[in-house]
A = this chain, B = another copy of it.
Amino acid sequence: MSGILYGVGVGPGDPELMTLKAVRLIRENDIIAVPGAEAKETVAYKIAVQAVPELAEKTLLPVYMPMTHDREEMKRNHQKGAELLESYLSRGLNVVFLTLGDPCVYSTYTYLQKLVMDDGFRTELVSGITSFCAAAARLNLPLSEWNEQLHILPAAHHSDAELKDGGNYVLMKSGRKMSQVKELLKNSGRDVYMVENCGMENEHVYHGTEEIPDNAGYYSLIIAKETRKNS
């Protein structure tokens, strides 16, 4: 019988935000895949090994899928990754693929999973704490209350047309276009917070667009909240 591919979220950075299920699956299985060129250099590995030290002794599969705008190259990388995972699954071995945050929210892992499922293998997802939940907890703020809508926008967005609807906004990975994003936020009439490297060593918290630097890091997450009339 073939093995199962588990896509397991390790949360945003703090190893204590890993779930009991993530810890158990890493402990119970020997083949652990991580996204990156050097397994022990990946963020997912560095988080998980703090909670499960025996991870260091397991068989680690680095699955390298660099960011690219070349669709064909991206597909080739996904295909190569899927083949690597399947070479273990077909021998009856489970593979636990560790992803940052939650595997269902903007994770490259879901592309791999689709290919592996199409080839007839069993897959399972295990939720992790999302970066936006962790950032809100770090700020000691609700993300959404009562009848507020919550909109999550990936980095590719953030154009002038946005932030016009009612509700609170989460802007993911805005780093590269920060000056443009700050302009957009200023005009939105919202209360703006940013958390850089949430739960990691070099974490930094900002309140108000004036405080946010133009050269913010890749793992920067912005929360823009409606100012509530009554509370």
Contacts and interface: CB of A to CB of B under 8 A. Distances in A.
Interface size class of A (residues with CB under 8 A): 35 or more
A150 B152 contact: yes
A56 interface: no
Tell me what chain A mostly uses at the interface: helix, strand, loop, or mixed.
Answer: mixed
A191 to B, nearest CB: 15
Given A17-B21, A140-B123, A149 B152 contact: yes
Contact of A127 (B51, B105, B126, B137): B137
B154 A106 contact: no
Interface string A88-111: 000000000000001111110011
A133 B127 contact: yes
A137 B126 contact: yes
A107 B141 CA distance: 11
A136 interface: yes
Interface stretch (A8-16, A37-45, A204-212): A8-16
B136 A144 contact: no
A208 to B, nearest CB: 20
A23 to B, nearest CB: 7
A133 B136 contact: no
Given A102-B133, A133-B130, A231-B114, A107 B156 contact: no
A179 B174 CA distance: 39
Interface in A49-73: 51
A224 B129 CA distance: 21
B23 A20 contact: yes
Contacts of A231: 114
18 contacts: A16-B20, A18-B20, A20-B23, A103-B137, A104-B142, A104-B143, A104-B144, A124-B140, A125-B137, A127-B129, A127-B130, A127-B137, A128-B129, A129-B129, A130-B130, A144-B152, A147-B156, A149-B151
